[in-house]
Amino acid sequence: MIETITRFLNKLSDQRDANNVRPILEAIADTISTTSLMSAGLVIKAVGGVLAKTGAAPWHGFAKGTRVLLAAATDMAAFSGTVVNATFNVFAHFVDAAGALTTTMGTAGATAAAVVFPVRPLGKILIGYTSINPTGTGNFVGGTTALDDVTVVPNAVFVSVVGGYDPTVKI
């Protein structure tokens, strides 16, 4: 038998309790059933490139219980937004059950620890993120500045996430 939140909530004698607990349990279940099963091996697409891509091996994950497969060397969605010189920020890479890729910028911070990650959309897997910290002579402009630009020096770091991780969940 497939275990569902509804099946468990139907066991509660008071439907009001079930209705109050349902959104919390659904959010937890989404995080558990929407997960990266392996490292995507994120890297720069090409020398002078403005995109990240998966590595040399296919990537596997589950989005709301549906298996998702990305081929090796799949381009992530384009970076959009500006990271001001001498600040830190991230661009989070997501995929849904249909294979649609999105990249969302976080909120910049003066340090890497001060960066606020973008909220993970329900039903989307966090494949990984690209951390940007421009220390050269200008700002990093997503979709324009090369990830290996020697003037802006974006200090791009590609991080692949494994598991049902959501950096926006706080206790």
Per-residue pLDDT of the chain (171 residues; tens, 9 = 90+): 577 888 888 888 888 988 899 898 888 888 888 999 999 999 999 999 999 999 999 999 999 889 999 999 999 999 999 999 999 999 999 999 999 999 999 999 999 999 999 999 999 999 999 999 999 999 999 999 999 999 999 999 999 999 877 777 776
Q: How far apart are CA 94 and CA 116, in angstroms?
A: 16
> What's the rounded Cα separation, in Å, for the pair 82 and 80?
7
Distance CA 48, CA 148 (A): 6
Residue 13 is predicted with a pLDDT of 85
Say how many CA atoms lie within 13 Å of 95 toward its Cβ.
Answer: 27
pLDDT of residue 171: 67
Q: What is the pLDDT of residue 46?
A: 96
Reported as half-sphere exposure (CB side, CA atoms, 13 A), residue 171 has a value of 0
Q: Which long-range contacts (CB under 8 A, 24 or more apart) does 56-62 make?
A: 59/127, 61/34, 61/35, 61/36, 61/37, 61/95, 61/125, 61/127, 62/33, 62/34, 62/35, 62/37, 62/125
Residue 166: the pLDDT is 77
Predicted structure pTM score: 0.90
Rounded Cα distance between 126 and 123, Å, is: 10
